[in-house]
A and B are shown apart, each in its own frame.
Chain A
Amino acid sequence: MSQYLTKRNFVFLGILATFAYFYHKDGDVTTSVVSTAVSFGLPLALAAMVGIMCERTGIVNIGIEGTMLVSAFAAFFVSSLSGSLIIGFIAAVLVGLLAGLLLALMAVSWRMDQIIAGTIINILATGLTSFLFKQGHTLPDAMPEIDIPGLQSIPFFGPVLFMHGPITYFGLIFIIFLWVALFHTAWGLRSRAVGEHPGSADTAGVSVIRLRYLNVGLAGLIGGVTGAFLSLELVGSFERGLTAGKGFTALALMIFGRWNPLGALAAAMFFGVAQAVTNQLMIDQVVNIPQQFVNMLPYVLTILVLAFAAGKVRPPAAEGQPYEKEQA
């Protein structure tokens, strides 16, 4: 029994109790706020997965922001021009994969400074999307909401978890899948080994270069999914600078979640709740703060989260270091 009396479980129970209290007071509003929080938190969580997949193998990816921006752009314009959301989604995933491979090329093959490599992706994405941007396009349809039969009628949990668009379901399932893969499969073990001590992994027969390419490429693909979620499912349009710093916030969430997919998911959902609650308070006019201060909230939270996590977390040991095979 006593092994369940951990700090983490108390925090979890506390959060549940808080939701239960508000649900008791006003069920509809609480349900809609938490459901919105899931939609706000998901892109952050998925972007944090991109960071985790890269950093667990030792590559710092500061280009998540640009990857998402350019794939959100591709998703929107390809959907609009082709008249199909599915083709737009595929385009976004391919563009994300390309961005990931470009980062791998610079960081793994050319052994460039990884911070500069990521910044190049960000600036390239901003330049490309603002140059190619055209006003007046719209999506052919809205992304359909899929309500899971049966589960959706559970009070509170139904609307919060089982009444979303398709990319949301994919994202939530992927995060759990990544957690399992990272800690319970050979791929996960090899990836983590390469991120902690590439020399030993290499000696044990793991191809460091190939695994880094694979993981950074796959991470780019997930970055593409995140971009598609932003422009197709969450916002339903594209504007310059759509990502608004989410890629950087995601890095903070990754750090705060200790490079663990579930930890980062929890941190992202905390951000989602904070934003959804603020929005609700503004709508109800409970508080009257200028909109600009509301806009600052995620950025201030990011800095606070990092300041709090400082010194308590340890990044993968080989992070940021290019790997060069020793010559015999």
Chain B
Amino acid sequence: MVALDTEEIVHKSRRVFDVGSWLIPVVAVIVAMLIAAVLMYLQGAAPLTAYTSLLKSAFGSVSGFGKTLGKATPLVLSGLAVTIGLRAGLFNIGAQGQLISGAIASAWAGYAIHGLPMVIHLPLALLIGAFFGSLTGLIAGALKAYRGIHEVISTIMLNSIVISLVDYLASGPLKEHGQPLTRTAPVLKSALVPKIFGLPLGFFLSIALAYVAWWVFRRTTSGFRLETVGRNKNAAWYAGISVKRSILIAMTVGGAVAGLGGAVETLGITGRFEPAFNAGLGFDGITIALLGRANPLGIIPGAILIGGMRAGAGSMQFDAGVAPEIVDLLMALILFFVSAPLLTRWLRRGKTGNSGLTGGWGS
């Protein structure tokens, strides 16, 4: 039985302000970009032109920056969903399915509910999105808590199930009338997330939520309980914390946050649901969460960076002829360098961290 190491938990959450925790992600991003540059060069494109074009279109103008923040919004939320799981010792790679559930539910609430003023309709549509996201998360949580099914398998399976299900809904019961495309009707004006000064309001909502999560983990008993379960299940159980309940809470709240991400994307950017719209957003959340070292505030810069890459990928293809899928590759390389202890050892010449997610399938 390992004793609770409260001091270390407090120390860990203070590390946001520590230079050491920033250095590794930054170096990881730079190394990944260098490798991607070599690949671009081998494909016959000019890496410098590509990166300049990417930076200019993503951060060079207000409208470009607005687009970047728009792309970053669901990423902050899916990254937060993964982070909440990681803190509680769960690897929630089902943010994708949770996000899509939220996206289609909010699209339905956005076009099917008539006659409400914006102050009621918009929050209601967002909440419905979050609710369906949390439901998808809860299924995985319940399977883990009551049947011991590892969340990595159950959430991947749920991702595929949800993708098939929404494809059925968008091509059947929820399909736009008299249109050939597989998509829902456009969301009514009263449910659209507005922009302020050209910047999407949803982004500020996602930042606020990240701050709330940070506060909950740092200052409240509920956050402390989740974190204790994440660090040592036996110790948590010994201290009288219900492990099952913590798993259910972490998966439900994580699902709600991811679902909200889908809702904000639908109501703020795309304006309707189409199966191809949200592809990959949940998986980006895994990279972002690990890039931010599972810190609710640490995910924000990563989300903006990757949002910028996604926003600028189009113009990069136009200017330098680089396929936009380079961003997927960049994400993979970043994830590799940020989690592999290579950099940690090189930069710190010290101990490596082990987040301890693996404990066999039965646990």
| A interface residue numbers (CB < 8 A to B) | 60, 62, 106, 110-117, 119-120, 123-124, 126-128, 130-131, 133, 244-245, 248-249, 251-252, 255, 290, 292-293, 295-296, 299-300, 302-303, 306-307, 310-311, 313-317, 319-322
Contacts and interface: CB of A to CB of B under 8 A. Distances in A.
Interface string B338-363: 01111000000000101111111110
Contacts of B355: 113, 116
Contacts of A249: 157
A315 B152 CA distance: 16
Given A116-B290, A296-B165, A311 B148 contact: yes
Q: Which 6 A-B pairs have the closest CB atoms?
A: A320-B358, A127-B332, A292-B168, A127-B329, A127-B328, A310-B147
B339 A307 contact: no
B326 interface: yes
Given A127-B329, A303-B149, A307-B143, A313 B164 contact: no
B149 A306 contact: yes
Interface residues of B, number: 50
Given A116-B357, A292-B165, A311-B147, 8 more contacts: A60-B361, A110-B352, A113-B358, A116-B290, A120-B339, A130-B325, A245-B157, A315-B360
Best-buried of B161, B354, B359 by chain A (most CB within 10 Å)? B161
Contacts of B361: 60, 251, 255, 315, 319
Best-buried of B143, B148, B336, B361 by chain A (most CB within 10 Å)? B361
Nearest to B336: A120
Contacts of A248: 152-153, 156-157
A292 B171 CA distance: 10
B94 to A, nearest CB: 11
A240 to B, nearest CB: 9
9 contacts: A113-B357, A120-B336, A123-B287, A124-B336, A130-B328, A245-B156, A299-B161, A302-B153, A314-B362
Best-buried of B286, B335, B362 by chain A (most CB within 10 Å)? B362
A210 to B, nearest CB: 21
A102 to B, nearest CB: 9
A244 B359 CA distance: 26
Given A127-B328, A310-B149, A110 B168 contact: no
Contact of B286 (A123, A290, A316): A123
A244 B323 contact: no
A251 B153 contact: yes
B154 interface: yes
Contacts of A316: 360
A201 B91 CA distance: 31
Contacts, number: 147
A313 to B, nearest CB: 7
Given A127-B328, A251-B153, A310-B149, A303 B143 contact: yes
A165 B133 CA distance: 44
Interface in B132-176: 143, 147-149, 152-154, 156-158, 160-161, 164-165, 167-168, 171-172
A293 B171 CA distance: 13
B157 A116 contact: no
- SS class, residues of chain A in contact with chain B: helix
B340 A110 contact: yes
Contacts of B357: 113, 115-116
A98 to B, nearest CB: 14
A320 B360 contact: yes
B306 interface: no
Contacts of B290: 116
B360 A302 contact: no
Contacts of B325: 127, 130-131, 133
Given A106-B340, A133-B325, A306 B154 contact: yes
B76 interface: no
A231 to B, nearest CB: 19
A146 B72 CA distance: 53
B54 interface: no
A315 B361 CA distance: 7
A314 B148 CA distance: 12
Nearest to A319: B360
B160 A244 contact: yes
B211 to A, nearest CB: 26
Given A119-B286, A127-B325, A320-B360, A290 B331 contact: no
A126 B341 contact: no
B156 to A, nearest CB: 5
Contacts of B39: 131
A173 to B, nearest CB: 28
